[in-house]
Amino acid sequence: MKGRSCGKIKSETMPPSSHTNWTRPLLKGGQTTQMMQAARQQQQQQLATVTTATTATTTSSMTIGAAAGAQNQNLAEHPATPLDRRIKVVLVGDGAVGKTSLVVSYSTNGFPGEYVPTAFDNYNVVVNVDGQPLNVQLCDTAGQDDFDPLRSLCYPETDVFLVCFSVVCPSSYHSVASRWINEVRKYCPNAPIILVGTKSDLRSDVRLMLQLARYGQAPITTIQGHQLAHRLGAVNYVETSALTQHDLKEAFDQAISFKQHASESDEERVQQIMEQALLDAKWVIQKYNQPGSTPTPK
């Protein structure tokens, strides 16, 4: 499915998640670079040049739109981030499911105006967690088969994977089990996986519903997302919308949370979080199976 376009750029500041105390990243100049198809022939060399990062920073007292001088001051206060204060998050999934839109909306608080297929983009943001800076590396990968060799180069040392599918593209949902989970487990068998359903706002698009119905299809439901996450061993399932920013921050907050607990060597706590996520999924499934019930995740 083609990516949607939106002429307006959202500028509102998102409220923080209720269970977290880190703040939104602030964009600081720079740009990401699209890698061309020729990169496949010189992957190792091109990988270093394509990762021109968008650097961002934030403090607990700043909001989106703070002065550049304040950003520079914060960078000066934290010129280097220790290795144990870094996290690498890789987004994978079929092409055009909205991976780039998620990253752009999260890091810039704006929605991209047009769909441009990604080869590989690397974004770096610095967020404030418990009063300390945390470097978050977001790797946006291509879902097309042509980029399989290139995509695998960014898997090493990944802390958390966000496996994405579009809730209004059933084929991308089925690709999670048939392709993406297997690929992720092949290269990073122990990395936590968060299943992310994108474009949740399009469930109410009548024209899109009619197009799906024409082929005997329907949008993926929330319960189907939880069931798939439970069946594949994902630590959680989150539905997001890059356009409305519904639960957008929640997806990235969860990724950061898993890294934080792991970096503190709190294996028991990580296990508790995973077990709770599985219990939540089971609860939704049981609630859904009750006649006349509409599940509302805890």
Query: pLDDT per residue over 222-278, tens digit each?
Result: 999 999 999 999 999 999 999 999 999 999 999 998 877 665 544 555 566 566 667
Q: Could you tell me what percent of the chain has a pLDDT over 90?
A: 45
CA-to-CA distance for 211 and 194, rounded, in angstroms?
29
CA distances to 22, 68, 119, 156, 211 from 56, in Å = 14, 11, 22, 23, 40
Domains held by the chain: number: 1
pLDDT of 54 strictly over 50: no
Whole-number Å distance between alpha carbons of 231 and 218: 21
Q: Any residues with CB less than 8 A from the CB of 138 and at least 6 apart, and which?
A: 89, 91, 103, 106, 107, 122, 123, 124, 125
Question: Who has greater pLDDT, 127 or 268?
Answer: 127
Instruction: Express as a percent the part of the chain with pLDDT over 70.
Output: 58
Distance between CA atoms of 283 and 277, rounded to whole angstroms? 10
Q: Is 121 a member of any domain?
A: yes
pTM: 0.66
Residue range(s) defining the domain that contains residue 162: 83-284
Per-residue pLDDT, 36: 34
Is 99 part of any domain? yes
What's the CATH number where 254 sits? 3.40.50.300
User: Which has the closest alpha carbon to 238: 192, 269, 205, 272?
Assistant: 192
Decide if 156 is inside a domain: yes
Is 229 part of any domain?
yes
28 within some domain: no
Query: What pLDDT is recorded for position 262?
Result: 63
Q: Are 135 and 85 in contact (CB under 8 A)?
A: yes
Measured CA to CA, the distance from residue 288 to residue 154 in angstroms comes to 38
With respect to residue 34, please indicate whether it lies within any of the assigned structural domains.
no
Question: Looking up tokens 């650097």, which residue turns up?
Answer: 55
Report if residue 278 sits inside a domain.
Answer: yes
Arithmetic mean of pLDDT, 83-91: 85
Whose CA is closest to 16, among 112, 99, 128? 128
Instruction: Kindly tell me the burial class for residue 147, based on how many C-beta atoms sit within 10 Å of its own C-beta (0-12, 13-18, 19 or more).
Output: buried
Whether 8 is in a domain gets the answer no
